[in-house]
Amino acid sequence: MDLTMLGTGHAVVTQCYNTCFVLHEGDKRFLVDGGGGMGLLRQLRAAGFDWADMTEIFVTHKHLDHLLGILWLLRLFGHGFAAGKCPREVHIYGHDEVIALLRELAELLLSPRETACLGHGVELIPVSAGERRTILDREVTFFDLRARKDKQFGFSLDLPGGALVCCGDESYKPWEEPYVRGCQWLLHEAFCLHSEADIFRPYEKAHSTVMDACKTAQDLGVRNLVLYHTEDTHLPHRKALYQAEGAQYFTGNLFVPDDLETIRLC
Ligand SMILES: [Zn+2]
């Protein structure tokens, strides 16, 4: 299985796309979040994906930088299903607030032709904390991050050798430990370098620094840590700068991907 980052930035980046990614294996795709708009379609294309293959989708929370790209996908699926060009059912998972909002926004913003696919090809599926689903032929467990801002879910996906855990876009919190401790892959936000915390003020936004995320991963015995949802002021040097700071605190494998970079998971 591979992880392709479509975007790696925080909410208001302009030099890269908002954080969202595709887990994929063979011809199966699992899209997590949509970024803030139709840039999702550009990023999917640039990564070599066909939007019509994004038949399993999870939205972590209702913020603009995660949700709005999904509306563009819905628009395409609406036309695709209306034209008989989408043979496979689409499943969009999210907690109750996300699903209700997606339905409402679709009805307000899309045409009747485009929304006709809802319930007829595109299934909006509310999931509760602790609920398990099979996605990519793997067991996925959704859990409540009990985020400081709005309600947000993460997930754990079973892989040979240990789980991949996505902690959304807020700092790790102790109640996530049952999922995170000893996991094989942890996807965690890092807003900026710790040495630049005074400039970017991550704590005001419930975010972490590279040091914080790396200390968490070290303490919890994580083997591979992927950092995302970052600031974008020195993108060409982000990988080197973040890895240099992170290596002081984390002895596992640290990944600081660029947009469109693919990481082999297993
Ligand atoms: Zn975000």
Where in 169-248 does DSSP place strands (E)?
Answer: 185-189, 224-228
Give 20 Cα–ligand 1 centroid separation in angstroms.
Answer: 9
Give 12 Cα–ligand 1 centroid separation in angstroms.
Answer: 9
Give 171 Cα–ligand 1 centroid separation in angstroms.
Answer: 11
The reported pLDDT for the residue numbered 149 is: 87
pLDDT tens, position by position, 195-245: 999 999 999 999 999 999 999 999 999 999 999 999 999 999 999 999 999
The type of residue at 265 is L
How far apart CA 182 and CA 121 sit, in angstroms, is 38
Using 70 as the pLDDT threshold, list the residues of the chain that sit under it: none
Give 82 Cα–ligand 1 centroid separation in angstroms.
Answer: 32
The mean predicted confidence, pLDDT, of the chain is 97
DSSP class of residue 100?
H
Give 147 Cα–ligand 1 centroid separation in angstroms.
Answer: 12
- How many C-beta atoms lie closer than 10 Å to residue 210's C-beta? 32
Q: How far is CA 241 from CA 193, 245, 247, in A?
A: 8, 6, 10
The reported pLDDT for the residue numbered 205 is: 92
pLDDT tens, position by position, 61-82: 999 999 999 999 999 999 999 9
Give 255 Cα–ligand 1 centroid separation in angstroms.
Answer: 19
Give 195 Cα–ligand 1 centroid separation in angstroms.
Answer: 22
Virtual torsion, Cα 60, 64, 66, 71, nearest 10 deg: 100
Residues 194, 157, 34, 236, CA torsion sign: positive
Give 113 Cα–ligand 1 centroid separation in angstroms.
Answer: 31
Contact 252, 222 (CB under 8 A): yes
Give 169 Cα–ligand 1 centroid separation in angstroms.
Answer: 5
- The domain spans of the chain are 2-264
How far apart CA 67 and CA 34 sit, in angstroms, is 6
How far apart CA 143 and CA 29 sit, in angstroms, is 21
The reported pLDDT for the residue numbered 16 is: 98
Give 9 Cα–ligand 1 centroid separation in angstroms.
Answer: 8
Give 149 Cα–ligand 1 centroid separation in angstroms.
Answer: 11
The reported pLDDT for the residue numbered 44 is: 98
Give 19 Cα–ligand 1 centroid separation in angstroms.
Answer: 7
What's the CATH architecture for 2-264?
Answer: 4-Layer Sandwich (3.60)
The reported pLDDT for the residue numbered 134 is: 98
